[in-house]
């Protein structure tokens, strides 16, 4: 068939363009095989981690070196033993597609996140993992395709050693909440380790002040057992006054519910205050007066306890919230969510917003953190967790994102909802006439001036609001402390390394002086 020259040239140009385009968009695939020993098909989020170097025992993400490890993801369903799947390492990947890697020595490992909770706590019991596969002198797209075999199962972590008296003074209280069950349509539990003082049984007529404590993001229920053992040990050594500690679990499938009433997670604050606390107070000899109920928590737990004190001022006698998540959204880890045309990734001049620091050194940006979280999975991540608590519910049944994950542009309509329902500084300011008399002198916030996640900024703004209201709130900024060494104190003449639990002693003493002002309790030296 005769083709006119102009048409021939046009077709040739088009075919060459398509060929060039195909070369530019060629993706790199790795093959992952399910080990033959598994008897049932497997499902979950398949992850491949890759980093430079040789000789690693495992390859995993590192939030404090966010671009050092590449990760690619794919959802798989009902893959049989011995079967293989290919994962496109350029489709959903961070910090970039694997085909962008330069020639060099690398090592990689595949993980099947069977519970889809990697974003919350990393590898957990039941996940399938491969051996680390060396990729010596690796050039993307050249040589044989790496093959990973999922032939190991992550075991249960062995329980740590409990302090003396733990079996007698520590009790799991697992309560099925009617309010949360009605919301979710399935039995929903509130759990805690309840720790009674060492001599609780020897004083059957005594009632004890009670501390409701909760943890930060990423902690499993096992952490409450460990933390409860710490409180028991400190009471036995007279480093804490005799109180009952309720080590609350605030983890859930979507991250941390923070004991806040939420259209997405359910009425956790209502369930705690109207169901769980009354249940405990009937079972244990707790001082059920507001002056005998206290709140304490760190990080996300710090925000949770600050929120509980503000929203339920007549129930609790004070909160000691350490390094709380942002309480004033004019400073959401450094970002003013209310600024016109706000972007959570970039300043107006285009420079990135930092999210993680080591004192003066920036080690991670908000954009890096958000995009890595997107690859690891849609559930359980820290940023998504904020949206599950704070955002309105979308038509798809999920929370409406506060910002565009690709561009960082903030949705002002969603932020307006956050402002009205969860900006604690705004809530206190606009409802002070109603709740101020019950809140005065009850708020204590402690944060380091070098907080790893810049949480000191929001604390300053919250303090300014409370100071303007005459709230007699107590804000303490510990010089040069980070998110992770805040609790260490350096007693005169003590261990030069400091007491890593020291801040607990200070907080416990202050609580006890409220509940028992005449006791004059003093910690042991």
pLDDT tens for each residue of 136-162:
999 998 888 899 999 999 999 888 889
pLDDT of 21 over the 70 cut: no
Structure tokens at 161: 């050693």
Position of tokens 């109180």? 243
Is this structure's pTM higher than 0.95? Answer: no
Position of tokens 């009850």? 442
How many Å apart are CA 232 and CA 241, to the nearest integer? 10
pLDDT of 1 over the 60 cut: no
Q: Model confidence over 451-499: pLDDT tens digits?
A: 999 999 999 999 999 999 999 999 999 999 999 999 999 987 777 788 9
pLDDT of 227 over the 50 cut: yes
pLDDT-based confidence at 16, cuts 50/70/90?
very low
pLDDT at res. 10 = 39
Three-state SS string across 303-314, please?
HHHHHHHHHCCC
One-character DSSP codes across 105-155: EEEEEEEEETTS-HHHHSS-TT-EEPPPEEEEEE-TTSSSPPEEEE-EEPP
pLDDT of 112 over the 90 cut: yes
Tell me phi and psi for residue 469, to 5 degrees: -90, -5
Cα separations in angstroms, 438 against 244, 348, 459: 23, 41, 21
pLDDT at res. 25 = 58
Three-state SS string across 28-50, please?
CEEEEEECCCCCCCEEEEEEEEE
pLDDT at res. 145 = 83
Cα separations in angstroms, 428 against 40, 286, 296, 461: 54, 29, 19, 12
pLDDT at res. 18 = 39
How many Å apart are CA 9 and CA 254, to the nearest integer? 57
How many Å apart are CA 261 and CA 168, to the nearest integer? 34
pLDDT of 8 over the 50 cut: no
- Tell me if residue 370 falls in helix, strand or coil: helix
pLDDT-based confidence at 192, cuts 50/70/90?
very high
Structure tokens at 467: 């100071």
What is the sign of the dihedral through the CA atoms of 319, 505, 356 and 459?
positive
Q: b/e map of 221-252 (b: 16 or more CB within 10 Å)?
A: eebbbbbbbbbbbbbbeebbbbbbbbbbbbbb
pLDDT at res. 2 = 42
Q: Model confidence over 356-398: pLDDT tens digits?
A: 999 999 999 999 999 999 999 988 999 999 999 999 999 999 9
- Tell me if residue 195 falls in helix, strand or coil: strand
CB of 118 within 8 A of CB of 73? no
Averaged pLDDT, 262-280: 98
Q: Which of 12-21, 320-329, 481-490 has the lowest mean pLDDT?
A: 12-21
Q: Which of 92-101, 396-405, 441-450, 486-495 has the lowest mean pLDDT?
A: 486-495
pLDDT at res. 252 = 95
Higher pLDDT, 241 or 494: 241
* Mean pLDDT rounded to a whole number for the chain: 93
pLDDT of 3 over the 60 cut: no
Within 13 Å and on the Cβ side, how many CA atoms surround 415? Answer: 21
pLDDT at res. 493 = 74
Rg (CA), the chain: 26
- Of 221, 161, 165, the C-alpha closest to 190 is 221
- Percent of the chain at pLDDT > 70 equals 95
CB atoms within 10 A of CB 367: 21
Edge-first strand order for the sheet with 147-150 is 84-88, 29-34, 147-150
- Percent of the chain at pLDDT > 90 equals 88
Cα separations in angstroms, 464 against 21, 309, 348, 447, 460: 57, 18, 25, 15, 6
Contacts for 62 with CB less than 8 Å, ≥ 6 apart: 68, 69
**What's the CA angle centered on 509, arms 503 and 510, to 5 degrees?**
95
pLDDT at res. 46 = 98
pLDDT of 4 over the 90 cut: no
């Amino acid at each position: 068939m005769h083709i006119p020259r102009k048409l021939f040239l046009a077709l040739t140009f088009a075919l060459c363009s398509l060929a060039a385009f195909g070369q530019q968009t060629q993706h790199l695939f790795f093959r992952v095989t399910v080990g033959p020993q598994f008897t049932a098909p497997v499902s979950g989020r398949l992850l491949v981690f890759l980093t430079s170097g040789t000789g690693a025992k495992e390859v995993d993400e590192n939030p404090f070196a966010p671009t050092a490890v590449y990760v690619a993801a794919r959802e798989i369903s009902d893959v049989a033993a011995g079967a293989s799947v290919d994962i496109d390492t350029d489709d959903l990947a961070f910090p970039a597609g694997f085909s962008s890697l330069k020639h060099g020595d690398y090592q990689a490992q595949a993980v099947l996140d069977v519970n889809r909770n990697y974003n919350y706590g990393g590898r957990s019991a039941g996940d399938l993992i491969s051996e680390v596969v060396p990729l010596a002198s690796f050039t993307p797209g050249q040589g044989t395709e790496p093959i990973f075999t999922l032939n190991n199962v992550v075991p249960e972590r062995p329980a740590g050693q409990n302090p003396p008296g733990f079996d007698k003074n520590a009790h799991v209280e697992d309560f099925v909440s009617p309010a949360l069950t009605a919301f979710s349509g399935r039995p929903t539990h509130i759990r805690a380790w309840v720790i009674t003082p060492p001599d609780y049984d020897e004083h059957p007529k005594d009632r004890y002040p009670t501390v409701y404590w909760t943890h930060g993001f990423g902690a499993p229920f096992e952490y409450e057992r460990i933390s409860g053992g710490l409180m028991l040990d400190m009471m036995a050594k007279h480093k804490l006054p005799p109180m009952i500690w309720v080590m609350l679990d605030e983890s859930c499938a979507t991250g941390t519910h923070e004991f806040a009433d939420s259209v997405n997670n359910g009425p956790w604050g209502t369930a705690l205050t109207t169901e769980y606390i009354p249940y405990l107070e009937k079972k244990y000899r707790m001082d059920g007066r507001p002056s005998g109920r206290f709140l304490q928590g760190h990080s996300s737990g710090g925000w949770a306890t600050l929120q509980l004190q503000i929203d339920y001022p007549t129930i609790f006698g004070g909160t000691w919230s350490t390094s709380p998540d942002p309480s004033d959204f004019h400073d959401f880890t450094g970002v003013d969510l209310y600024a016109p045309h706000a972007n959570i990734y970039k300043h107006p001049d285009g420079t990135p917003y930092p999210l993680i620091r080591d004192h003066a050194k920036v080690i991670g940006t908000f954009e890096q953190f958000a995009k890595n979280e997107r690859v690891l999975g849609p559930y359980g991540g820290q940023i998504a967790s904020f949206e599950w608590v704070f955002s309105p519910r979308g038509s798809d049944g999920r929370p409406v994102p506060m910002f565009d994950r690709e561009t960082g542009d903030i949705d002002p309509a969603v932020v307006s909802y956050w402002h009205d329902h969860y900006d604690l500084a705004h809530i206190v300011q606009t409802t002070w006439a109603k709740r101020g008399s019950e809140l005065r002198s009850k708020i204590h916030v402690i944060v380091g001036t070098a907080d790893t996640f810049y949480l000191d900024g929001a604390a300053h703004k919250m303090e300014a609001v409370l100071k303007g209201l005459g709230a007699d709130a107590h804000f303490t900024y510990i010089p040069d402390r980070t998110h992770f060494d805040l609790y260490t104190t350096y007693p005169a003449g003590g261990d030069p390394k400091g007491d890593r639990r020291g801040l607990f002693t200070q907080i416990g003493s202050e609580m006890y002086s409220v509940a028992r002002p005449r006791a004059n309790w003093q910690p042991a030296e």
